[in-house]
């Protein structure tokens, strides 16, 4: 019964769930929060948006 957890199938399912969470947070970060740095041209400085 516990050996089921060691099967690659279980690993792949786990990875699939983690991937979905990861993609959702990616979307949230860039498309909703717009939380990333930008390198600006003239001032040569970084700003947080």
Are the C-beta atoms of residues 47 and 38 closer than 8 Å to each other? yes
Q: Is position 36 an interface residue for other proteins (rule: CB under 8 A)?
A: yes
Beta-carbon contacts of 36 under 8 Å, excluding residues fewer than 6 positions away, are 29, 30, 49
Asked whether position 12 contacts other proteins by CB under 8 A, the answer is yes
Q: Which is nearer to other proteins, 2 or 37 (CB)?
A: 37
State the maximum Cα–Cα separation within the chain, in Å, rounded to a whole number.
Answer: 63
Q: How far is the CB of 27 from other proteins (least distance, A)?
A: 6
Positions touching other proteins (CB under 8 A) are 8, 11-12, 15, 18-19, 22-23, 25-27, 29-31, 34, 36-41, 44, 46-49
């Amino acid at each position: 019964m516990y050996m089921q957890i060691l099967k690659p199938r279980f690993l792949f399912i786990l990875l699939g769930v983690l991937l979905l969470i990861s993609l959702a947070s990616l979307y949230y970060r860039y498309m909703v929060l717009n939380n990333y740095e930008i390198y600006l041209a003239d001032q040569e400085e970084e700003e947080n948006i």
